[in-house]
Amino acid sequence: MRKDYRLEKRKYVIGGFLLFIALIYLIRLFDLQINDSKYKTYADNNAFLNKTVYPSRGLIYDRNGELIVYNQPAYDVMMIPRDVQAFDTLDFCHTLNITREQFDTRLHDMKRTPGYSTYTPQVLITHLSAEDYGRLQEKLYRYPGFFIQKRILRQYKHKTAANVLGNIREVSQTDIERDPYYQRGDYCGDLGIEKSYDEYLRGHKGAEVLIRDAHGRIQGRYQDGALDVAPISGRNLKLSIDLGLQQYAESLMVNKIGAVVAIQPKTGEILAMVSSPTYDPTLLVGRQRGREYRNLVNNPYKPLFDRSLMAAYPPGSTFKPGQGLILLQEGIINTNTAYPCSHGFISGGLRVGCHGHGSPIPLKPALQTSCNAYFCWGFKALVDKRSKYGTPADAFEIWKHHLVSMGYGYKLGVDMPSESRGFLPNAPYYNKRYGEGRWSANTIISVSIGQGEICATPLQIANVCATIANRGWFITPHVVKEIQDTVMPDIYSEKRFPTIDSRWYDEVAEGMRMAVTGGTCRLTNLPDIQVAGKTGTAQNPHGRDHSAFMGFAPYDDPEIAVCVYVENAGFGATFGVPIGSLVIEKYLKGEIAPERKYLEQRMLESNTIIYSGVKKH
Amino acid sequence: MESRSINYRNQESPLKGIDWPTVIIYILLVVAGAVSIYAASYDFDNASIFDYSEYSGKQLTWIGLSFILGLGLLLIDARMYETYAYPIYVAVMLLLLVTIFIAPNIKGSHSWIVLGPMSIQPAEFAKFATALALAKLFSGYNFNLNASTGNYMKALAIIFLPVGLILAQNETGSALVYLGLFFVLYREGMSGLILMSALLAITIFVISVKYTETMIVGIPSGQFTVYLIVMVTMVTMLAMYSKVADVARNVALGFVGCGLVIWILELCGVDVPGKYVLPGMIAAACLYCLFETLRLRVTKITAAIGAAIIAVGFMFSVNYVFTSVLKPHQQMRIKVALGIEDDILKAGYNVNQSKIAIGSGGFAGKGFLKGTQTKLKYVPEQHTDFIFCTIGEEEGFIGTSLTMMLFVILILRVIVIAERQPTTFGRVFAYCVASYFIVHFCINIGMVIGLCPVIGIPLPFFSYGGSSLWGFTFLLFILLRIDASRRSHH
């Protein structure tokens, strides 16, 4: 047959068409497979479900190994919006025991939270009850895109030490930005040691890479779990808190506003740390947390405010032993220097009242009787000693420097969040207030007896007491004794020495011992324990005086140093001393002697909160 | 006679004169196909490749049988095919007709005849029957397609009879394959204008409906592209069809010049109203062509003018009908069918997942049996129509481009074979084979990579299924048999 060469050329058109299409496809494949890496991510998002495995949070024990805080499982219903398919919403709500409206509201809220993504797990409902969990688990296969995330909640064996323990809460956006460890829906410590030791307690999250098929069914572990990371449990903490002592001190502080801090002087370990009024830590667990937290915030007595280390109170007469140390150290007085007291300190038209006792008296009896005049004279002698210091301002700075070394005016560094630094004025402060060179000891005389501008936290006062108990040193107070498998930071074992020679401490300690045996603190004079102490009655311009006490025992080998501070309770001797003595007795003897039971009873039953001036709403 | 004696010898040894390159490519494709099916249906706790209960096991049986079938086909005298072309065609058409009534409803289509444990899809066998009939028609004494309309009608009847029957079985995809036979008509003398305008119409429709999102010079990019296509077509037609090179050059220069001006203006921040400028350019070119027609007295120039006007008019009518006449849900249905709308949860799900599967393969792939998309059944129909995904995911760009290359080589080889046929019968049959392959190749791969609408037709030799494999084996080995005996005609 004759070949038609004109038509034969058309093979090029057909072949060319094929090559043209093939080229387009090749370019497309190049674009899909090499140029664009998003498909790899899509495929991984399809196939792999990265499931976080939450570690169990570290347990918390008291110093005697008594369990205080442990974990209980909680179940959150999670959803990956993109994977959710049409489902029986009513049945779902019924299973979860919520109304359709609640479900819709929750869904709506979820979509508005920052960081919402349809590709990542979102928290739908938190803290499912075990019952609801069981019901949902059975039906879960009907709801693709939903799954249950097991979480850890805290549970408290004893409803005590809420201020020390703190609690845990869901992380906020700021937490997530601050610490990359956190993801939406995680929990972090809030308040107390839950916050300050969060990094130890939380452990390390694990991850499971699961393979998921097109219907959302889990097919197993990717590479038999080769990429899985096992969670590492959080470290357990052993507190220095003595649970029994803490509970006892809390019971004594019922219906009172204030704080009790007890420190073991040799170690700086805090044995008890009470802030009153306190609250039940179990309130802040679970789904009702938000509501309960709001209630606590709105409570007029501010139970969330940890008075033991956040409240800055005028130390009152508990300030005097420190004053004595400074005067001795600076050579303003010696052990025999006596100052007169004519029912007070009277100088240049100024009068600071005092009560009846002999006059003139040296340091020890002055501490015994809590003589205001003595410390005013001493302070005046120091500040106005131009021959030694030049100006009052320079002298004041020296005075202040000694106080700082004792732990006043700055944070002590306790292992708790939100410690207050108290307040210690400096010379520029007064220069600003009165004008440079226009103030002297008399202008600011009230600071000498722990009034005026001076403020200290109960923790700082207790720490000064521990320093005197140790006769010249202290260890930064702390509430955690041991971290499992970890060495405590050095600062909680290093001795800190204030700028006072150790020889002067015995003088002051003796004065405090005398206050117990024959002075203001006679109520703490226990028959078989040698207690040393100092009362404090801090004038309160807003209402009744605050009652304070600091003391340590036994006198020769101190085991415990205590500070008690009760707001609006009047004289130091009326509330501070009894509570302090009971705490000391309880700790050292384990029980209260029968003849002192009446005191215990009185403290348990008394109510000073009525004097706080807070109107109950 | 000498030639007859050669022929006898050929008959004694059917493998002599076989086009081995084609056979080798065939074997490569079939083996690669079997491996892909094994990979696509592999489960994490899967048994062996030979397990008959699995797709791969069954497919191996089909492959074994198809080798025997191929060998059998080689043993049949080539002249038998020519002699019995019409009876075979008629028989297969009857089978198609019967199928409509006896086939059970499988996903809405009535195209499978169930014979005990296996099912057969007669539509796959209608391909070679139709090819034989078409070849037979063209090999008629002094048959010339353009000689009479009747010849066209005969050819179209042969093509559209199976199309109608298969459409009646509700197998739209398989029916569309037969439209590829227009390549054969084109090769045998049908005007290129018909082929070109058909391709243009499809392109314009898809482009103007599909690309409406991004804007270029104030008009949708789809419309812009259509204008460009019209301009290129005009110039090409003026040069190739009207044979007025200088007119083509002038028009081309005009377009390029205007294009440059528009481009520079856009760069300077001037908003060119493309809505008026582009049609204006084409109108100006048409007026110029009209002037040249009158001046040079070359009437063929009017074809270019007509094509331009029809194309632009077609585009506007498509837009009008689509946006103003069709209801939103109808628009949606077309868009989804064309793969325009990413209806990821419903119709677009397959394509989206198949793009993910292929795209995630990267350059070298995830490795044999390591594809997560396919193993975890994210791609439906992954062992049949979407088998190309498995290659893309596990063997990467290397695998996909090699596979495409094998197909291109095979098709080009078939075209080479076609052109060396001494008989019209052989040539037409060969072109039919090439056309089927081109359509399957273009539509299947295009659909998997998201460039074509989802039309469910298999990838030859790769997609699971005995009918498809046998159908293509028939086509290829009948061609090889005819080709092997071509020397007897010299």
Q: What is the pLDDT of residues A426-448, one digit of tens each?
A: 889 999 999 888 888 888 888 88
Q: Where are the alpha helices (DSSP H) in A188-335?
A: 192-196, 198-201, 243-252, 289-298, 307-310, 320-329
With a pLDDT cut of 90, the percent of chain A lying above it is: 35
Question: Other C-beta atoms within 10 Å of B367: how many?
Answer: 12
**CA dist B369 → B43, B392, B394 (Å):** 9, 12, 7
The answer to whether B356 contacts A46, with C-beta atoms less than 8 Å apart, is yes
Q: Are residues A314 and A200 in the same domain?
A: no
B388 falls within a domain: yes
Q: Are residues A89 and A141 in the same domain?
A: yes
Q: Are residues B13 and B130 in the same domain?
A: yes
Out of A59-63, A329-333, B376-380, B460-464, least confident range: B376-380
Q: Are A380 and A347 in contact (CB under 8 A)?
A: yes
So what's the pLDDT on residue B51?
58
Is the pLDDT score of B11 beyond 70? no
A563 falls within a domain: yes
A210 CA: distance to closest CA in chain B (Å): 12
Out of A114-118, B107-111, B185-189, B214-218, least confident range: A114-118
So what's the pLDDT on residue B1?
37
What is the number of domains present in chain B? Answer: 2
What's the residue count for chain B? 490
Q: Are residues A261 and A285 in the same domain?
A: yes
Mutation choice for A interface testing from B356, B389, B412 by most A CBs within 10 A: B356
The pTM (predicted TM-score) of the whole model is: 0.64
So what's the pLDDT on residue B444?
93
Q: Are residues B174 and B200 in the same domain?
A: no
Q: Give pLDDT tens digits for B58-67.
A: 888 889 999 9
B245 falls within a domain: yes
Q: Are residues A169 and A253 in the same domain?
A: no
B125 falls within a domain: yes
Backbone angles phi, psi at A120, to 5 degrees: -110, 155
CB nearest B424 (choices: A1, A32, A43): A1
Instruction: Please give the residue of chain A at the shortest CA–CA distance from B445.
Output: A25
- The residue type of B313 is G
Q: Are B74 and B481 in contact (CB under 8 A)?
A: yes
For chain B, positions 139-198, list CB contacts with chain A under 8 A.
Answer: 183, 186-189, 192
Distance CA B39, CA B36 (A): 5
Q: Are residues B280 and B407 in the same domain?
A: no
- The CATH number given to whatever domain includes residue A549 is 3.40.710.10
So what's the pLDDT on residue A115?
66
CB nearest B378 (choices: A22, A32, A46): A46
Out of A186-195, A385-394, B342-351, least confident range: B342-351
Is the pLDDT score of A464 beyond 90? yes
CB nearest A8 (choices: B356, B419, B434): B419
Q: Are residues A183 and A319 in the same domain?
A: no
Confidence of residue B9 (pLDDT cuts 50, 70, 90): very low
The larger pLDDT score, comparing residue A114 to residue B271, is at B271
Distance CA B440, CA B173 (A): 10
Secondary structure E strands in A129-268:
146-156, 167-170, 187-190, 206-212, 218-221, 237-239, 258-264
The answer to whether B408 contacts A22, with C-beta atoms less than 8 Å apart, is yes
Where is the domain boundary, B278, B306, B325?
A: B325
Q: Are residues B157 and B294 in the same domain?
A: no
Backbone conformation region of residue A336, classed left if phi is above 0, alpha if psi is from -120 to 50, else beta: alpha
Q: Are residues B272 and B203 in the same domain?
A: yes
Q: Are residues B169 and B269 in the same domain?
A: no
CB nearest B449 (choices: A29, A43, A220): A29
The answer to whether A7 contacts B442, with C-beta atoms less than 8 Å apart, is no
Pair of tokens at residue B323: 């946006």
Q: Are A366 and A339 in contact (CB under 8 A)?
A: yes
Nearest to A441 by CA among A382, A372, A373: A382
Is the pLDDT score of B48 beyond 70? no
Q: Are residues B379 and B450 in the same domain?
A: yes
Nearest to A45 by CA among A15, A82, A70: A82
Confidence of residue B145 (pLDDT cuts 50, 70, 90): confident
Where do we find the tokens 């037969």? B178
Pair of tokens at residue A586: 């309880």
Query: Mean pLDDT highest for which of A78-92, B182-196, B365-379?
Result: B182-196
- The residue segments making up the domain with residue A429 are 243-611
Confidence of residue A582 (pLDDT cuts 50, 70, 90): very high
Q: Are residues A430 and A335 in the same domain?
A: yes
The larger pLDDT score, comparing residue B119 to residue B22, is at B22
Q: Are residues B378 and B253 in the same domain?
A: no
Q: Are A576 and A564 in contact (CB under 8 A)?
A: yes
Q: Are A145 and A172 in contact (CB under 8 A)?
A: no
Q: Give pLDDT tens digits for B65-105.
A: 999 999 998 888 888 899 999 999 999 999 999 999 988 88
Q: Compute the average pLDDT of residues B114-124.
A: 84
Confidence of residue B347 (pLDDT cuts 50, 70, 90): low
So what's the pLDDT on residue B13?
62
Q: Are A303 and A281 in contact (CB under 8 A)?
A: no
A9 falls within a domain: no
Where is the domain boundary, A217, A239, A261?
A: A239
Confidence of residue A474 (pLDDT cuts 50, 70, 90): very high
What is the number of domains present in chain A? Answer: 2
Q: Are residues A83 and A226 in the same domain?
A: yes
Instruction: Please give the residue of chain B at the shortest CA–CA distance from A224.
Output: B44
Q: Compute the average pLDDT of residues B465-490.
A: 86
Q: Which residues pair with A156 in a beta bridge?
A: A69
Q: What is the residue-averaged pLDDT of chain B? A: 85
A4 falls within a domain: no
So what's the pLDDT on residue B6?
45
Is the pLDDT score of B7 beyond 50? no
Q: Are residues A411 and A479 in the same domain?
A: yes
Collapsing DSSP to helix, strand or coil, A595 comes out as helix
Where is the domain boundary, A206, A239, A272?
A: A239
Q: Are residues A130 and A79 in the same domain?
A: yes
So what's the pLDDT on residue B8?
46
Confidence of residue B5 (pLDDT cuts 50, 70, 90): very low
- The CATH number given to whatever domain includes residue A151 is 3.90.1310.10
Q: Are residues B219 and B273 in the same domain?
A: yes
Out of A46-50, A58-62, B448-452, least confident range: A46-50
Pair of tokens at residue A338: 């006596």
Q: Are residues B288 and B394 in the same domain?
A: no
Report ipTM (2 d.p.). 0.86
For chain B, positions 438-477, list CB contacts with chain A under 8 A.
Answer: 438, 441-442, 445-446, 449-451
Is the pLDDT score of B268 beyond 80? yes
Where is the domain boundary, B325, B351, B373?
A: B325
Confidence of residue A345 (pLDDT cuts 50, 70, 90): confident
Pair of tokens at residue B152: 């066209």
Q: What DSSP assignment string belongs to B128-194?
A: HHHHHHHHHHHTSTT--GGG-HHHHHHHHHHHHHHHHHHHHTT-HHHHHHGGGGHHHHHHTT--HHH
A39 CA: distance to closest CA in chain B (Å): 5
Out of A158-167, A207-216, A325-334, A388-397, least confident range: A207-216
Q: Compute the average pLDDT of residues A564-578.
A: 87
The answer to whether A7 contacts B361, with C-beta atoms less than 8 Å apart, is no
Distance CA A544, CA A569 (A): 7
B349 falls within a domain: no
Confidence of residue A505 (pLDDT cuts 50, 70, 90): very high
A38 falls within a domain: no
CB nearest B355 (choices: A1, A19, A32): A32
The answer to whether B378 contacts A26, with C-beta atoms less than 8 Å apart, is no
So what's the pLDDT on residue B131?
95
Confidence of residue B4 (pLDDT cuts 50, 70, 90): very low
Nearest to B468 by CA among B31, B38, B176, B63: B63
Q: Are residues B462 and B480 in the same domain?
A: yes
A11 falls within a domain: no
- The residue segments making up the domain with residue B130 are 2-190+359-489
Q: Which residues pair with A209 in a beta bridge?
A: A50
B186 CA: distance to closest CA in chain A (Å): 8
B340 falls within a domain: no
CA max distance for chain B: 81
Query: Mean pLDDT highest for which of A81-85, A530-534, B338-342?
Result: A530-534
Nearest to A457 by CA among A346, A351, A548: A548
Pair of tokens at residue B161: 């009879």
A2 falls within a domain: no
Taking each helix axis from N to C terminus, what angle separates A577-589 and A243-252, rounded to the nearest 10 degrees? Answer: 160
Q: Are residues A433 and A582 in the same domain?
A: yes
Q: Are residues A222 and A274 in the same domain?
A: no
Q: Compute the average pLDDT of residues A387-410.
A: 90
**Chain centroid offset of residue B450 CA:** 15
So what's the pLDDT on residue B21?
93
Confidence of residue B3 (pLDDT cuts 50, 70, 90): very low
B90 falls within a domain: yes
B344 falls within a domain: no
Is the pLDDT score of A94 beyond 50? yes
The answer to whether A18 contacts B393, with C-beta atoms less than 8 Å apart, is no
Q: Are residues B127 and B269 in the same domain?
A: no
Q: Give pLDDT tens digits for A587-600.
A: 999 888 888 899 88
Residues of A in contact with B400 (CB under 8 A): 29, 33
Distance CA B328, CA B321 (A): 12
Q: What is the residue-averaged pLDDT of chain A? A: 87
Q: Are residues A72 and A198 in the same domain?
A: yes
Where is the domain boundary, A212, A239, A266?
A: A239
Is the pLDDT score of A87 beyond 90? no
B192 CA: distance to closest CA in chain A (Å): 9
User: Is there a cis peptide before residue A554, judged by omega within 30 degrees of 0?
Assistant: yes
B346 falls within a domain: no
